[in-house]
Amino acid sequence: MTTPTVTTTIDSRYGEPGAEPTPWPETEALFASAPLYWVSTTHTSGRPHVAPLVGVWHDDAFHLTVGPGEQKALNLVRDPRIAVTTGRNEWDSGVDVVLEGEAARVTDHDTLTAIAAAYLDKYGEAWRFEVGDEGFGIADEFAWVFRVAPRKVLAFAKKPHGQTAHRFR
């Protein structure tokens, strides 16, 4: 994969005077190290569907796993647009991050093996995945893997308050 070009700007309408943009490497590190993410997809009825889950940052993209029958999977097959959010539930400290992109299924065995290793490195034995045919696991324990390459990532700094946008080409 080629590394995407990132353009970073700060929106002065949404922050305190003098707030500086959060650099992409800092935003990327915060997002990658998060223990939990909130995934937002669109239900067939058009209403939002939001759920917490674990995931990994690998090869310049976010990766998540879902069972083929789960609502998230059904939503992503129909409409791949997704928002992934993480951060701190505090007003005056930390940085919240929102990644927007489109989810695509990962089925390549070598890529799945690398993603499984990333889960193991990040979460330990609790998230050890067996690589199967076009996903993780077998039979009733099977999960699809989705890759979400970012189109836009927002970083909401809280001290001082400032909104940074990272756009990708």
Q: In CATH, what number is assigned to the domain containing residue 75?
A: 2.30.110.10
- Given a cut of 90, is residue 129 above it in pLDDT? yes
How confident is residue 138, by pLDDT bands cut at 50, 70 and 90? confident
Q: Is residue 1 part of a domain?
A: no
Domain membership of residue 40 (yes or no) is yes
Q: What is the mean pLDDT of residues 12-17?
A: 91
The predicted pLDDT at position 157 comes to 96
Give residue 95's domain range: 6-168
Q: What is the DSSP string of 71-122?
A: HHHHHHHH--EEEEEE--S-SSSSEEEEEEEEEEEE--HHHHHHHHHHHHHH
Residue 1 in this model has a pLDDT that exceeds 80? no
Number of domains in the chain: 1
Is 142 among the domain residues? yes
Prediction pTM value:
0.94
Q: How far apart are CA 67 and CA 114, in angstroms?
A: 19
pLDDT digits (tens, 9 = 90+) for 97-123: 999 999 999 999 999 999 999 999 999
Report yes or no on 16 lying in a domain.
yes
